[in-house]
Each structure stands twice: as structure tokens, then as C-alpha cells.
Amino acid sequence: MKLLVDTKAERVLYAEAGKDVVDFLFSFLALPVGTAVNGNNKNGLVRSLVTYTVMDDLKVAPMSTISGITLLNTFGIPNISMLMEKTVQIGYEEGLEILRLSLQSKTVLTDVILSKKVQKA
């Protein structure tokens, strides 16, 4: 998953994610919370040839150049030099933390990925 990080505000603006990540996120909605043990569904829930935008609050939409530019405008980013692309892997620990925080936070990706508690060197 590729993140677009606002280094000045120290927050994730959005992530670029493939089918595997979006299937994982959508599986939270398909299963009772107590049974989310992140299973292997061959077909998944979304198309594999599409790249998706995952917002910090876990809203998901198909990605496009125009929507990316619109998001930068919406976030009030005047200078793209303060943005950084960061590629991350979502493992079991991060997945459980995303599940936990999805019920409590509006800044899930920032809390999980940029947090010092979960981030590994």
C-alpha cells in the first residue's frame, strides 16, 4: 500500500491500495467483529485490475488522477513539496490494529502507520 503523507501535519492524506488491501478492509463489514481472522477468499470482494483510494478514515473509492488532484485541493495542500510517498506492508499486527481503530477513530491509517507504537524499524 502506498501512502501519501503530509509531512508538515504528520498525517496520512490517503493511500493507494490494491485488491488485497481493500478486500481485507471490506471483510470487516462482512464478518461479525469477533470472527475477523484477516481468511483467504479466492475471489474477494472487489476487482483486481483497479487501484483504490483508501482515505484515513477507511473510506474507499476507485482511484483516478482527477480524484487525487481534487483530494489535494480538498485538503488545502498549497505546496506538494511537503508531501511524501511511503510504501508500507500491512501485516497481522497492523491488520488487528486497523480493525480495532476502525471502531474508534477517524484517522485510522495515520494512527496505525505513523504511530510509534505499531511502526517497526
Residue 109: what pLDDT?
93
Instruction: Examine residue 121 and state whether it is found in any structural domain, yes or no.
Output: no
Asked if residue 119 belongs to a domain, the reply is no
SS3 (DSSP) at 96: helix
User: Residue 27 is placed in which grid cell?
Assistant: 471483510
Q: How many domains does the chain have?
A: 1
Could you tell me which of 3, 4, 12, 17 has the C-alpha nearest to residue 83? 4
* Residue 119: predicted pLDDT: 45
CA proximity to 95, closest of 24, 3, 23, 43: 24
Gap between the Cα atoms of 121 and 116, Å rounded: 10
Is 120 inside any structural domain? no
- Asked whether residue 23 is domain-assigned, the answer is yes
pTM: 0.73
Tens digits of residue pLDDT in 66-112: 888 888 889 888 888 989 999 999 888 888 899 889 889 999 999 99
C-alpha cell at 26: 471490506
Answer whether 19's CB lies under 8 Å from 50's CB: yes
Tell me the pLDDT tens digit for each residue of 46-69.
767 788 889 999 998 888 888 888
Domain that holds residue 23: 2-113
